[in-house]
Amino acid sequence: PQFCVCNLAIYLILGFWGLICPIYGLYSKNINVLRYHNLYRRPPVEVLEGTPDNRPIFNVFDDVDDTYTGIFLGRNTNKGYSWNIAASISRPARQGFGFNLSYSYGDAFVVNDITSSQNNSQWRGHRNVFGGNAEGEIWRSQFAVGHRVVAQVAYRFEYAGFMGTTLSLFYNGQSGNPFTYTYNTSGFGGMINDGAFSDGYRIYVPNNQSEINLVANDDGVSAEEQWAVLNQFISDNDDLNDQRGDYADINSARNPFVNMLDARILQDFYITTARGKRHTLQLSLDIFNLGNLVGSWFGRHDWGRIYSAGSFGNFPLLNFEGFQEGTNVPEFTVNSEILEGQEPWDDDFIDTGRIRSSRYQMQIGLRYIFN
């Protein structure tokens, strides 16, 4: 990949309390980045009917050469760009006290995020309503960081002639990961049969009930009842409401803001030799996701939780139930979680690893320091 990059930095040393305030700006423009074309796929044969959603329909069973499962061509595109701004204010440790506070915002727009290890998956995850071979316009990258606030404060004090204690708090607050409202098409090829992932088709956001063909679901919830819930859900979501009468924008929705607080306690036991050298035995206690630990004491296990709606950045708001007999008119039901009044991320949160985990964790350490 080739990029054109422009950087701007301002570094200020304020005249009081030793404060330092750097400000940064970064803009990158794509020159040559990858996109994929499936030479194996024939052009579309029909279109959807019955609503303003008239995206093309392909015949996934009539490909160029059945000897292969796919023939992919990597091409270059110059579409896409990103930009970031950041500012911070800090006080280097003096008399045992120091802190840092920073804010940043970043956005990025691409044709394809190129996140898989296989060309087949790159192409199938393209999410263009006109099929994977249509390059389309740029859309928000799943790596668009949004807002981020980072704060750190530390205080160290020595006492008794041979001991020292350091207390530190670290806060990281950032925008939740972006995601896209899609259909669940329950099978390879799905609704328009182009071979994309079954949950990767962006929904058409209806203006009214006549622009979506809802049918009663397996639990007996009528089309009218589902529409009332869906319409209210769209109205309550500013991004979706602005997209009525069009296809849902890729990655225009975000999971809830993430608030993570970590703590560290260092306990030093030291001696100073006759030559002025210090030998230190240091015990450490790290608490990751302190908010979740404190919340658990009060029965609030959702404190410090990192939510993640759907999978691979897709949340299936609607289920594709097939076509009306003898037509290309699709029928849908509303996601059961939404019908039950849940948010897309309610039952889906990250619970693995240490750096990004919804559970509190602790670790202890022992270190010998000499010079």
> Given this model, what pLDDT does residue 252 score?
93
* Pair 76, 36: CB distance under 8 Å: no
Residue type, 49: E
pLDDT at position 255, please?
95
What beta strand segments (E) does 250-371 contain?
253-254, 258-272, 278-288, 314-323, 330-334, 361-370
Residue 255, burial from CB neighbour count under 10 angstroms (0-12, 13-18, 19+): buried
**Quick one: 91 exposed, middle or buried, by C-beta within 10 A (0-12, 13-18, 19+)?**
middle
What is each CA distance from 173 to 58, 256, 259, 282, 313, in whole angstroms?
44, 11, 5, 30, 20
Closest CA to 13 of 86, 88, 85: 88
Low-confidence ranges of the chain (pLDDT < 50): 188
Sign of CA dihedral 347, 352, 358, 359: positive
Q: What pTM, to 2 d.p., does this model score? A: 0.88
Q: Are 27 and 6 in contact (CB under 8 A)?
A: yes
- How many whole angstroms separate alpha carbon 15 and alpha carbon 270? 36
Long-range contacts of 152-156 (CB under 8 A, 24+ apart): 152/99, 152/100, 152/101, 153/98, 153/99, 153/100, 154/93, 154/97, 154/98, 154/99, 155/96, 155/97, 156/93, 156/96, 156/97, 156/266
Q: Which pLDDT tens digit goes with each residue over 79-96? A: 999 999 999 999 988 888
Q: 37 pairs with which residues across the strands?
A: 73
Alpha-carbon span 345 to 340, nearest angstrom? 13
| Tokens encoding 174 | 């950032």
Residue 127 is encoded by which pair of tokens?
């999410």
CA dist 258 and 324 (Å) reads 43
What pLDDT shows up at residue 1? 67
| Alpha carbons 303 and 297: distance in angstroms, whole number | 11
Confidence at residue 127, expressed as pLDDT on a 0 to 100 scale: 85
pLDDT, residue 46, reads 92
Q: How many CA atoms lie within 13 A of 132 on its CB side?
A: 32
Q: How far apart are CA 262 and CA 354, in angstroms?
A: 11
Distance between CA atoms of residues 22 and 15, nearest Å? 14
pLDDT for the residue numbered 295: 93
Residue 336: CB atoms within 10 A of its CB come to 13
- The span from the CA of 157 to the CA of 164, in Å, is 6
Each residue's pLDDT tens digit, 341-357: 999 998 788 887 666 78
Q: How many CB atoms lie within 10 A of CB 312?
A: 15
